[in-house]
């Protein structure tokens, strides 16, 4: 096996190790992002559950308060307002105080019973917690359990390429560049790593220039399209102005024709009037016996 073939095999080995390392690093980054997202989801779900619980407690307390107000109002109606309306006056009774206290106690007990019943907000809290929180916790647990395996893959992949990385230019220590170097050597386009790096830089520069040229071509095509639209719009405006001028000429000709017809009609009317006058004069002469 000659030196070129050995170099190709070494570069291919380095390339495969870098691909493995990059994939493991991507998986680790993805796992870290997923952990952060799940933690945020758990915090959001729990905060929403707390907010719904607080809203539910407020609703329950409001129901108890409203019931108490209604009972006090009814008590006042029966023991104070009604006697006044009947004209019997206010009869203060000690038993009324005990009755009011007893009624309020009953209302409080009823309010507690109502507060223990499941409300719509309680259902929402339970559904939110049961559907999102346990699922997120399970996903978070599974992701965390995967971290040792991913870290092991990272360590093994790095161990595979560690010797190459220490003696390789850091700027080109990624799979795409190393793969291109192996391709250059295998196809006998270069005889040394320096030539491979120079060829790689040259091709990258050409690719960048080609991409930039394509971008400029696309921009120019877009600008030409805009200019074409502007020219078409200008031409449409010109055509419209031309048609408007032709329409104005037609209107002018029509007005002139109307004027001529009006003048002819006036002349004809004058001629008819003169003929009528002549006829009248001839009739007068005839009636007078003179020709």
In-domain check, residue 157:
yes
In-domain check, residue 75:
yes
In-domain check, residue 231:
no
Residue-wise pLDDT for 190-215, tens only, equals 988 899 999 999 999 999 999 988 88
Based on its alpha-carbon atoms, the radius of gyration of the chain, rounded to whole angstroms, reads 51
In-domain check, residue 113:
yes
Which structural domain range is residue 158 located in?
Answer: 3-162
- CB atoms closer than 10 angstroms to residue 8: 19
Residue for token digits 């095509």? Answer: 221
In-domain check, residue 221:
no
Please tell me the distance from the alpha carbon of residue 78 to that of residue 183, in angstroms, as a whole number. 102
Q: Looking at residue 273, what is its pLDDT?
A: 81
Averaged pLDDT for residues 214-238: 86
In-domain check, residue 211:
no
61: CB partners within 8 A, 6+ apart: 115
In-domain check, residue 176:
no
| Total count of domains within the chain | 1
Residue for token digits 């991409």? Answer: 211
Averaged pLDDT for residues 256-277: 82
Residue-wise pLDDT for 136-153, tens only, equals 888 888 989 888 999 999
Residue-wise pLDDT for 26-51, tens only, equals 999 999 999 998 888 888 777 766 66
E strand segments, the chain: none
pLDDT of residue 262 exceeding 90, the answer is no
Give the CATH number, domain containing residue 118: 1.10.287
DSSP per position, 103-133? HHHHHHHHHHHHHHS--HHHHHHHHHHHHHH
Q: Running DSSP on this structure, what letter comes out for residue 191?
A: S
> 47 is written with which tokens?
């905060």
pLDDT of residue 291 exceeding 50, the answer is no
Residue for token digits 């990258």? Answer: 204
> 223 is written with which tokens?
């600008």
Q: Looking at residue 265, what is its pLDDT?
A: 79
In-domain check, residue 188:
no
Q: Running DSSP on this structure, what letter comes out for residue 278?
A: H
Q: Looking at residue 243, what is its pLDDT?
A: 86
């Amino acid at each position: 096996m000659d030196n070129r073939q050995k170099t190709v095999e070494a570069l291919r080995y380095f390339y495969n190790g870098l691909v493995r390392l990059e994939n493991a690093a991507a998986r680790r980054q993805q796992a870290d992002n997923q952990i952060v997202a799940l933690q945020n989801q758990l915090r959001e779900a729990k905060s929403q559950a707390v907010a719904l619980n607080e809203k539910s407690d407020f609703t329950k307390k409001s129901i108890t308060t409203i019931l108490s107000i209604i009972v006090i109002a009814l008590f006042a109606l029966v023991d104070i307002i009604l006697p006044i309306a009947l004209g019997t006056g206010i009869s203060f009774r000690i038993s009324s105080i005990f009755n009011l206290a007893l009624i309020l106690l009953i209302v409080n007990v009823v309010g507690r019973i109502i507060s223990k019943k499941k409300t719509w907000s309680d259902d929402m809290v339970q559904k939110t917690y049961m559907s999102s929180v346990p699922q997120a916790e399970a996903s978070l647990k599974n992701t965390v359990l995967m971290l040792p395996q991913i870290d092991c893959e990272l360590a093994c992949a790095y161990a595979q390429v560690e010797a190459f990385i220490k003696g390789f230019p850091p700027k080109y220590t990624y799979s795409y560049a190393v793969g291109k170097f192996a391709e250059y050597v295998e196809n006998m386009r270069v005889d040394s790593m320096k030539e491979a790096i120079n060829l790689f830089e040259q091709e990258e520069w050409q690719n960048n220039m080609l991409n930039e040229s394509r971008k400029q071509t696309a921009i120019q095509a877009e600008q030409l399209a805009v200019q074409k639209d502007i020219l078409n719009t200008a031409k449409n405006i010109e055509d419209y102005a031309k048609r408007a001028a032709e329409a104005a000429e037609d209107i002018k000709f029509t007005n002139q024709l109307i004027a001529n017809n009006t003048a002819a009609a006036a002349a004809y009317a004058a001629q008819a009037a003169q003929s009528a006058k002549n006829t009248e004069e001839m009739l007068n002469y005839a009636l007078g016996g003179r020709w």
